[in-house]
């Protein structure tokens, strides 16, 4: 769900409709309370009101208490993991279901309670509706137990890191197969300046507001530019912050673009107040890095958590060594260059993953040595020569940091041995 409120409101609406339907059903049929049935159906208006009042009061009370405790737990977790991770907890489907279930049961009991009548000899007791309320209370108790267990597990650091790693893995599979047109096999052979010079006009597209670039509709943008026989050069990628009036892209064309076409082109670029992970792989990586950096802060001083983050980031990078990063030059079906994109490459992902962790790990021998081991592991999976140079560059920076901040000679020797194995590769 993109919002926290939608599913609870949907459940509440269902509860309202269910209460109306069941009360109508109770009014249209008569149930004889004989045999085992009498043990499950209410036969007194006083008992009916007591049961419904008890369930309604308990549901709204427990809902308020549970979510107050949850907010306290999330506040404590955000101080350790980072405030940007709170929305990961908000959008968990179980949390939305539990909130909707408690509140909708409360509202259901109120509506059914209002239907109980006893005046001038007329008595109406919605027995089936009350039975459903009791069953709903039992289900809510089970949901409460599951909810408490889920919250207790979800704020554990290992669980948080594991969830982020799994999400990044799915994101890699989703993002990289997507192509903005067809890729050229060897982008070094592309003479972009010569192609650009063939166009007579260029139009600067500026950001209509300040915010983060969240999404680019690749297919629609390619079709629009190809239809106008033009070329667009993008200067930013999803995750970049744009200031109102700053240049997003340049449009090269030999024909005149109408205002409607330019507005339609700008609609394919979504700008919002916050970063999202839709097309921004670095966003999820930065969440993991933030946990590691906070763990290395003097106030927390938890190197084990930082090492866990390094291990998981190593697995992500090793997976990316086999991924085909998209070229910045994109062609349409007829082989014409239409888009020059600002793309993410292996070097950028490597920098985003380990630069800040390295910078904050000064003096921590265990973390620095694990960083060097991570570079060694990644290098073993890396086949492309340019990617190997990037890994070796990071290993050199880790070695320099270790020699400058580690005082124990044996630790420096261990670090140097691991570095030598990398440099010999």
The CB density around residue 325, as the number of other CB atoms within 10 Å, is: 17
Give the H/E segment covering residue 250.
strand 247-253
CA angle in degrees (0–180, nearest 5) for 391-421-351: 15
In this structure, the answer to whether residues 34 and 62 fall within a common structural domain is: yes
Answer yes or no: do 373 and 245 share one domain. no
Residue 1 lies in a domain: no
DSSP 65-109: HHHHHHHHHHHHHHHHH-GGGHHHHHT-HHHHHHHHHHHHHHHHH
Q: List the structure tokens of 109.
A: 């009991």
- Look-up: residue for tokens 């070097």? 347
Quote the domain boundaries for residue 225. 182-272
Q: How far apart are CA 415 and CA 370, in angstroms?
A: 9
Total domains, the chain = 3
Query: Is 249 found in the same domain as 208?
Result: yes
Rounded Cα distance, 164 and 37, in Å: 51
Q: Are residues 114 and 44 in the same domain?
A: yes
Q: Could you tell me if 44 and 117 lie in one domain?
A: yes
Alpha-carbon span 167 to 160, nearest angstrom: 11
Strand order across the 247-253 sheet:
182-183, 329-331, 337-340, 231-234, 247-253, 201-206
pLDDT of 389 = 94
| 3-state helix vs strand vs coil in the chain, percent to 5 | 65, 10, 25
CA distance 360 to 355: 9
- Assessment of whether the complete model's pTM goes beyond 0.85: no
pLDDT, residue 74, reads 74
DSSP 8-state class, residue 40: T
Do 100 and 195 belong to one domain? no
Which of 98, 99, 97, 107 is closest to 133 using CA atoms?
A: 107
CATH number (domain holding residue 224):
3.90.1170.30
If one counts every other C-beta atom within 10 angstroms of the C-beta of residue 347, the result is 16
If the chain, 425 residues long, is cut into consecutive pieces of 10 residues, what is the mean pLDDT of each piece?
Answer: 79 95 89 62 87 94 83 75 70 85 95 88 87 94 91 83 87 63 51 83 91 90 90 91 93 88 90 86 90 89 92 92 83 87 90 95 94 95 91 96 93 94 85
Query: Would you state the pLDDT for residue 75?
Result: 78
């Amino acid at each position: 769900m993109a919002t926290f409120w939608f599913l609870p409101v949907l459940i509440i609406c269902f509860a309202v409709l269910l209460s109306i339907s069941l009360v109508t059903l109770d009014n249209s049929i008569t149930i004889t309370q004989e045999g085992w049935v009498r043990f499950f159906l209410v036969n007194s208006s006083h008992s009916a009101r007591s049961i419904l009042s008890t369930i309604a009061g308990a549901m709204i009370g427990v809902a308020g208490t549970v979510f107050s405790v949850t907010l306290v737990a999330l506040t404590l977790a955000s101080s350790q993991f980072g405030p940007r991770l709170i929305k990961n907890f908000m959008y968990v489907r179980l949390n939305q279901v539990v909130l909707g279930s408690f509140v909708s049961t409360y509202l259901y009991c109120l509506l059914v309670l209002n239907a109980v009548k006893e005046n001038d000899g007329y008595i109406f007791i919605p027995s089936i509706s009350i039975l459903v309320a009791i069953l709903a209370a039992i289900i809510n108790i089970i949901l409460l137990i599951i909810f408490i267990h889920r919250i207790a597990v979800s704020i554990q650091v290992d669980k948080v890191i594991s969830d982020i790693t799994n999400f990044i893995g799915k994101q890699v599979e989703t993002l990289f197969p997507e192509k903005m047109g067809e890729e050229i096999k060897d982008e070094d052979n592309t003479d972009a300046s010569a192609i650009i010079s063939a166009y007579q006009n260029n139009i600067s597209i500026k950001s209509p507001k300040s915010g983060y670039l969240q999404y680019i509709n690749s297919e629609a943008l390619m079709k629009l530019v190809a239809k106008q026989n033009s070329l667009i050069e993008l200067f930013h990628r999803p995750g970049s912050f744009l200031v109102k009036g700053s240049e997003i892209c340049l449009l090269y064309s030999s024909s005149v673009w109408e205002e409607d076409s330019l507005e339609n082109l700008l609609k394919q670029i979504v700008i919002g107040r916050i970063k999202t992970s839709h097309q921004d792989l670095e966003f999820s990586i930065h969440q993991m890095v933030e946990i590691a950096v906070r763990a290395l802060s003097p106030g927390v001083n938890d190197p084990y958590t930082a090492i866990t983050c390094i291990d998981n980031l190593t697995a992500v990078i090793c997976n990316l060594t086999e991924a085909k990063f998209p070229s910045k030059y994109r062609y349409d079906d007829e082989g014409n260059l239409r888009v020059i994109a600002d793309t993410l490459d292996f070097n950028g992902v490597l920098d985003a993953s380990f630069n800040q962790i390295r910078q904050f790990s000064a003096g921590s021998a265990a973390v620095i040595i694990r960083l060097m081991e991570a570079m060694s592991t990644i290098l073993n999976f890396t086949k492309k020569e340019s990617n190997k140079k990037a890994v070796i560059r990071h290993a050199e920076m880790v070695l320099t940091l270790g020699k400058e901040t580690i005082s124990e000679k044996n630790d420096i020797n261990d670090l140097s041995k691991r570095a030598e194995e990398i440099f010999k590769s």
